[in-house]
């Protein structure tokens, strides 16, 4: 279960650890992008709290993204 923490001092969720049931990670331009990275309150990027056993390496390409846009 991924956990996130907003570190924006002006946010009402500042420093609170939020647990989510799942994460969806997409590869965009060779980088892993997690849609849960962004705080729902202040919209700043949150910190993912890594725990033992969490995936630390993700591989992939933009193929699926390009297919959905009709470029492949």
DSSP per-residue letters across 25-48: EEEETTEEEEGGGB-TTT-PBPEE
For residue 46, pLDDT beyond 70: yes
pTM for this prediction: 0.63
pLDDT by residue (tens digit) across 11-24? 999 999 999 887 77
CA angle 45, 15, 43 (to 5 degrees): 25
Work out the pLDDT band at 64, boundaries 50, 70, 90: low
Q: For residues 56-66, give the mean pLDDT.
A: 64
The pLDDT value recorded for residue 43 is 94
Burial of 25 (0-12, 13-18, 19+ CB in 10 A): middle
């Amino acid at each position: 279960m991924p956990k996130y923490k907003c570190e924006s001092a002006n946010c009402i969720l500042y420093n609170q650890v939020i647990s989510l049931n799942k994460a969806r990670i997409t590869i965009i331009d060779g980088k892993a992008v997690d849609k849960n990275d962004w705080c729902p309150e202040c919209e700043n990027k949150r910190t993912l709290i890594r725990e033992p056993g969490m995936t630390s390496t993700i591989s992939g390409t933009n193929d699926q993204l390009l297919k959905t846009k009709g470029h492949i």
